[in-house]
């Protein structure tokens, strides 16, 4: 006579029940994965738009010099003025210019310094911005020049070609998204400074070195 199946043996051979909680967890994880995938795709798209924009275009449209004087001990005092044109070729990307500093060079020798007083915003719908830049020496900080440079400047009777270099901190804006700060370096070579009575000017195009 066979022994009857005990209650303990019956419970051990009974298949486990399907838990509804597992299905809910799987659905929740799948939804989360889908949301993360879409979010990452949007971020990648935004980064592509922001980190690979068309290069900004700069040029110097006008220039002048005031209070130009070189002392007997080769110290320069002067005020250099420039009209800088900035063109944004990006139709979807606006730009915050948080700071801009600039220097004037002659034969790799610094002549004057300057900075843009206030940050400004270049909207994508207003692609051209003109800035009036003034680089100066001050009464307490004359620029000491090598004798070869000061002698060359003294002998100039009409036009001197200088280099204008700008360093800025900018941010991009696409929709409501704003990028972190990026460095902007612009070099404008061979900018005419006309000392003659009948002033002329030759527009100088600039190179964007870093963006």
Mean pLDDT of all residues in 156-163: 83
Tell me what pLDDT residue 187 has: 97
Kind and range of the H or E run holding 131 = strand 128-136
Residues 6+ apart with CB under 8 A from 88: 56, 94, 95, 122, 124, 127, 128, 129
What is 55-210's CATH number, 2.30.230, 3.90.198, 3.55.50, 2.60.40? 2.60.40
pLDDT digits (tens, 9 = 90+) for 61-76: 999 988 888 888 888 8
**Neighbour tally for 9: CB within 10 Å:** 11
Degrees, nearest 5: CA angle 95-96-97: 115
> Worst-scoring range by mean pLDDT, 22-26, 47-51, 151-155, 182-186?
47-51
Measured between alpha carbons, how far is 2 from 41 in angstroms, rounded to an integer? 67
> Domains of the chain: which residue ranges?
19-52, 55-210
- Whether residue 98 is predicted with pLDDT greater than 60 in this model: the reply is yes
In three-state secondary structure terms, 22 is: helix
Tell me what pLDDT residue 24 has: 80
Tell me what pLDDT residue 199 has: 72
Q: 84: closest CA among 138, 134, 123? A: 134
């Amino acid at each position: 006579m066979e022994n009857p199946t005990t209650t303990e043996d019956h419970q051990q051979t009974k298949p486990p029940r399907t838990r509804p909680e597992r299905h809910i967890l799987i659905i929740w994880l799948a939804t989360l994965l889908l949301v993360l995938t879409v979010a990452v795709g949007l971020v990648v798209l935004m980064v592509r738009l922001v980190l690979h924009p068309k290069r900004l275009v700069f040029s110097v449209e006008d220039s002048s010099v005031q209070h130009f004087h070189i002392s007997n001990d080769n110290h320069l005092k002067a005020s250099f003025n420039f009209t800088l044109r900035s063109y944004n070729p990006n139709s979807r990307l606006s730009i915050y210019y948080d700071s801009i500093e600039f220097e004037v060079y002659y034969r790799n020798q610094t002549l004057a310094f300057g900075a843009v007083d206030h940050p400004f915003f270049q909207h994508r719908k207003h692609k051209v911005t003109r800035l009036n830049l003034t680089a100066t020496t001050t009464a307490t900080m004359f620029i000491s020049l090598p004798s070869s440079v000061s002698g060359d400047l003294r002998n100039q009777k009409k036009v001197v070609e200088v280099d204008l270099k700008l360093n800025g901190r900018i941010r991009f804006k696409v929709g409501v998204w704003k990028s972190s700060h990026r460095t902007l370096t612009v070099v404008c070579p061979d900018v005419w400074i006309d000392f003659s009575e009948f002033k002329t000017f030759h527009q100088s195009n600039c190179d964007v070195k870093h963006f």
